[in-house]
Amino acid sequence: MTLQAPQGNPKHALKVDWEMGELDRHPCLLPKASHTETLIVYPPALANTVGVDIQIDGRHIASAVLVMVPTSRGRISLISADPSVALMINPDFYATEVDRTILHAGVRQVLQLIKKTPEGKDMVQSEATGPKI
Protein backbone atom coordinates (compact mmCIF):
# COMPACT_ATOMS: atom_id res chain seq x y z
CA MET A 1 0.00 0.00 0.00
CA THR A 2 1.49 3.36 -1.02
CA LEU A 3 0.34 6.37 1.00
CA GLN A 4 0.84 10.08 1.40
CA ALA A 5 1.62 11.57 4.79
CA PRO A 6 -0.88 14.20 5.97
CA GLN A 7 -0.04 17.35 4.01
CA GLY A 8 0.97 19.47 7.00
CA ASN A 9 3.47 16.91 8.30
CA PRO A 10 6.12 17.02 5.54
CA LYS A 11 5.77 20.79 5.11
CA HIS A 12 6.41 21.43 8.81
CA ALA A 13 9.41 19.08 8.78
CA LEU A 14 10.80 20.64 5.60
CA LYS A 15 10.99 23.98 7.39
CA VAL A 16 13.47 22.37 9.81
CA ASP A 17 15.67 20.79 7.12
CA TRP A 18 15.53 23.04 4.03
CA GLU A 19 15.87 26.64 2.93
CA MET A 20 12.55 28.46 2.76
CA GLY A 21 12.92 29.31 -0.96
CA GLU A 22 13.20 25.61 -1.83
CA LEU A 23 10.05 24.51 0.00
CA ASP A 24 7.49 25.02 -2.76
CA ARG A 25 9.53 22.96 -5.23
CA HIS A 26 10.33 20.05 -2.94
CA PRO A 27 9.20 16.63 -4.30
CA CYS A 28 7.63 15.70 -0.94
CA LEU A 29 4.98 18.36 -1.46
CA LEU A 30 3.86 17.34 -4.95
CA PRO A 31 0.11 16.56 -5.00
CA LYS A 32 0.64 12.93 -6.05
CA ALA A 33 3.81 12.27 -4.05
CA SER A 34 4.06 8.79 -2.56
CA HIS A 35 5.63 9.14 0.87
CA THR A 36 5.48 5.61 2.28
CA GLU A 37 5.16 2.05 1.11
CA THR A 38 3.53 -0.23 3.66
CA LEU A 39 3.97 -3.97 3.62
CA ILE A 40 1.84 -6.37 5.62
CA VAL A 41 3.23 -9.85 5.25
CA TYR A 42 3.16 -13.36 6.61
CA PRO A 43 5.32 -14.81 8.12
CA PRO A 44 6.70 -12.26 10.55
CA ALA A 45 9.76 -11.26 8.57
CA LEU A 46 12.92 -10.74 10.63
CA ALA A 47 11.11 -11.22 13.94
CA ASN A 48 14.11 -12.93 15.52
CA THR A 49 16.42 -10.19 14.25
CA VAL A 50 14.58 -7.55 16.27
CA GLY A 51 14.26 -9.70 19.37
CA VAL A 52 10.67 -10.89 19.06
CA ASP A 53 10.07 -14.60 19.62
CA ILE A 54 7.23 -15.45 17.24
CA GLN A 55 6.30 -18.93 16.04
CA ILE A 56 5.63 -19.35 12.35
CA ASP A 57 2.26 -20.95 12.93
CA GLY A 58 -0.11 -19.04 10.67
CA ARG A 59 -1.28 -16.76 13.48
CA HIS A 60 1.07 -13.81 13.00
CA ILE A 61 1.63 -11.10 10.43
CA ALA A 62 4.28 -8.39 10.23
CA SER A 63 4.16 -4.86 8.92
CA ALA A 64 6.90 -2.59 7.63
CA VAL A 65 6.80 1.06 6.62
CA LEU A 66 9.34 2.30 4.06
CA VAL A 67 10.06 5.96 3.25
CA MET A 68 9.84 6.20 -0.55
CA VAL A 69 11.67 9.49 -1.18
CA PRO A 70 14.25 9.81 1.60
CA THR A 71 15.95 13.16 2.04
CA SER A 72 18.71 11.86 4.32
CA ARG A 73 22.05 11.34 2.64
CA GLY A 74 24.72 8.93 3.77
CA ARG A 75 28.44 8.92 3.19
CA ILE A 76 30.98 6.52 1.74
CA SER A 77 34.54 7.25 2.86
CA LEU A 78 37.98 5.85 2.25
CA ILE A 79 39.67 4.93 5.50
CA SER A 80 42.90 3.77 3.91
CA ALA A 81 44.93 4.20 0.73
CA ASP A 82 45.05 0.41 0.56
CA PRO A 83 42.42 -0.71 -1.99
CA SER A 84 41.89 -4.01 -0.14
CA VAL A 85 40.58 -2.19 2.97
CA ALA A 86 36.78 -1.94 3.09
CA LEU A 87 35.11 1.43 2.70
CA MET A 88 33.46 3.16 5.66
CA ILE A 89 29.74 3.24 4.83
CA ASN A 90 27.35 5.33 6.91
CA PRO A 91 23.83 5.22 5.41
CA ASP A 92 22.61 7.86 7.92
CA PHE A 93 19.04 6.59 7.70
CA TYR A 94 16.38 8.99 9.02
CA ALA A 95 18.84 11.81 9.69
CA THR A 96 16.40 14.50 8.55
CA GLU A 97 13.23 15.70 10.23
CA VAL A 98 11.37 15.08 6.96
CA ASP A 99 12.25 11.37 6.90
CA ARG A 100 11.42 10.87 10.57
CA THR A 101 8.11 12.73 10.22
CA ILE A 102 7.06 10.73 7.15
CA LEU A 103 8.04 7.43 8.82
CA HIS A 104 6.05 8.31 11.95
CA ALA A 105 3.01 9.24 9.84
CA GLY A 106 3.28 5.93 7.97
CA VAL A 107 3.45 3.92 11.19
CA ARG A 108 0.40 5.79 12.54
CA GLN A 109 -1.47 4.98 9.31
CA VAL A 110 -0.68 1.25 9.68
CA LEU A 111 -1.85 1.29 13.30
CA GLN A 112 -5.08 3.01 12.21
CA LEU A 113 -5.61 0.39 9.51
CA ILE A 114 -5.03 -2.51 11.89
CA LYS A 115 -6.74 -1.17 15.02
CA LYS A 116 -9.55 1.07 13.76
CA THR A 117 -10.99 -0.55 10.63
CA PRO A 118 -13.45 -3.46 10.69
CA GLU A 119 -11.09 -5.49 8.48
CA GLY A 120 -8.10 -4.84 10.73
CA LYS A 121 -10.05 -5.62 13.88
CA ASP A 122 -11.21 -8.92 12.36
CA MET A 123 -7.65 -9.99 11.54
CA VAL A 124 -5.56 -8.68 14.43
CA GLN A 125 -6.21 -9.56 18.07
CA SER A 126 -3.08 -8.08 19.67
CA GLU A 127 0.45 -6.82 19.04
CA ALA A 128 3.67 -8.72 19.64
CA THR A 129 6.34 -6.10 20.24
CA GLY A 130 10.05 -6.37 20.89
CA PRO A 131 11.69 -6.00 24.30
CA LYS A 132 12.49 -2.31 23.76
CA ILE A 133 9.02 -1.28 22.61
Contact 42, 63 (CB under 8 A): no
Kindly report whether the peptide bond that precedes residue 43 is cis, defined as omega within 30 degrees of 0: yes
The alpha carbon dihedral of 121, 122, 128, 129 has a sign of: negative
Domains of the chain by start residue, with CATH: 2-123 (3.30.560.10)
* pLDDT at 20 > cutoff 70: no
Q: What is the pTM of this model?
A: 0.75
Higher pLDDT residue, 90 or 10?
90
SS (HEC) of 87-101: CEEECCCCCCHHHHH
64-114 pLDDT, tens digit per residue, is 899 998 889 999 999 999 999 999 999 999 999 989 999 999 999 999 998
Q: Residue 35, Cβ neighbours under 10 Å: how many?
A: 25
26-59 pLDDT, tens digit per residue, is 777 777 888 889 988 877 767 777 777 777 777 8
Note the Cα 123 to chain centre separation in Å: 23
